Structure 1
Amino acid sequence: MTAAPTSATPTAGSAHAGATLAATRADKSGAAGNASILPDALRAALEQAQAQVNGLVLGKAQAVRLAFVALLSDGHLLIEDLPGLGKTTLAHALAAALGLEFQRVQFTSDLLPADVVGVSVFDPQSRQFQFHPGPVFTQVLLADEINRAPPRTQSALLEAMAEHQVTVDGRTHPLPDPFFVIATQNPVDLSGTYPLPDSQLDRFLLRLQLGYPDEAAERDLLSGADRRDLIAQTRPVLSSEDVNAIRRAVDAVYASEQLIAYVQALLARSRKHPGVRVGLSPRAGLALLRASRAYALLLGRAHVVPEDVQALFAAVASHRLVAEADAGPDIAKSILYAVAVD
């Protein structure tokens, strides 16, 4: 057993384990390169799309990568941070670079569920109810400041996020494909906010924070053009068909038995870790594996290594763990550091 990681940087032991996993994959398939699951042209376009978004959201390369991970994993993304740090810009830039339809909903205390999913209106000419789709019928939905709306309205997104469909007046309406929700929320200690229910939190594959930009990025932001103008000028390099093709490629990324055992050990540790009242579910483990596959693909690999899991664990686990009041904000990291890579 190698030592568990003691910092955010992967350990030499985990790197050795990753090399072992890569060798195992190469032995089984004869190729460990990314070209076997993603055509060169599509891979180049994906890299260009990431570069475009990084050019619009300055100094946040890892956050941009995680946003791509959530989208390509067929998951959803929750961004929790203070106003004015680029949450809306990230969502809009991602949709623009990928050529996806974009809608934004500003959640407020008086927003109704029908304002999100749509409503049936009686047509006197046809003497029938006609369904008028809401803004959820899009490919990239920005649910801005979702925790400013009451729980009943927040839950209107639940079926859409889980099933990619909505039901209104007993009729089911499928959503466009792909369908991706980026929800932003302000910290719960700000006035006028409502905590998201656990069932809603679990529907988000990842939760992340953007934070303040570094000095160089902030200087470029202040001296550069308006982000809205730059987004309007962005030409998409991918299409919805390309996004779905990349999602299928994510399914083909290899995760060895050793890697799966490592993920299972993290789940088991979370259920008995000091300071944790409710640990991670099997669904959280599936989310971690799928996100790790997408992360590996974005880094040009056809196999998952422990460093992929370590890079994503806090973003996948932090909003799913129920911790004691005095557990501290880094409970997910402490679980990660407590589990060694076999």
Structure 2
Amino acid sequence: MRILVTGSAGFIGFHVSSKLLDLGYTVVGFDNLNSYYDVELKQARLEHLLERDQFHFVKGSLENRSDLEQLFEEHRFQVVIHLAAQAGVRYSLEHPQTYIDSNVTGFLNILEMCRIHQIGHLLYASSSSVYGANRKVPFSVEDMTDHPVSLYASTKKMNEMMAHAYSHIYGLPVTGMRFFTVYGPWGRPDMAYFSFTRNILEEKPITVFNNGEMWRDFTYVDDVVQAIANLIPLPPAPDSNWNGQTGSSNAPYRIYNIGNHSPVKLMEMINLLERHLGKKARMEYRPMHPGDVEVTYADTKSLEEQVGFKPETPLDAGLGKFVSWYKAFYQVKGLELTKSISGD
């Protein structure tokens, strides 16, 4: 089977591509290698993938439809895993147009290519941020998601609605995956656990919003990847018993929460990092940031029942693996950090 993975040089895309190659799939990666964060880190991920015989890479942009037309014409994909997007809740407050171009126009182009080329299963990344101002926890796929608190969240909500429309009109089998605070080796430098690690090692202060009164459902990347691998051979079918619930449809369309179902307080995460790093953090407290929410908490019942899998890596274990990777990749010696592209 030949699978397209968009965002293959990104954090989750890199791990998904690696897993699929291990499972014997042929993977075509697509990425624009933008400079939202360290391009050298993206290049290092890509170098690892390019060492594999069954991996092929195409550089291009989602919003450039001709790039995608050429990609789909040259390769006959059975499955598309769409992970490319402009990420970051806070960045969306400063660069709104970037999110519309990549997350909305780019996603429309993906849907069009999947329609035209009759793709057997489209899986795409949504986000826990779609729950927005929802106060009910844990967050269920049956909950309403009509109150986003950032433009990033709005674009992900739009993706879900666009995907359902294409599934309903054209019979396109589509699976949406709401990721909850994914972390781990090769992660994104803009994520808190990553930037906290860097600053603690460099003896710089870390910025803690809302006095640390925040909880996140941290989900280890290997668990996310396993969930995706399990979903690939399960294209959704229309639900004949559908009665209006939001997680399913009378179209071949499903949405799943992919989270750990175990929120951890931000201060606990910091304490775990301090222990793994053997250094104390210097903290600067700030008010709640616009676009943030206090709690994320995934109800994974539908994932367990229909896919037979539940993420469950404890945060302590996952952070330990991340810190080990970080020290190897950046060759941490005392307080001197030098980048190594040789990998882990």
Q: TM-score under structure 1 normalisation?
A: 0.29
Task: Kindly name which structure, 1 or 2, has the bigger radius of gyration based on alpha carbons.
Answer: 1
- More helix per residue: 1 or 2? 1
Q: Which has the higher contact order (CA 8 A, sep 6+)?
A: 1
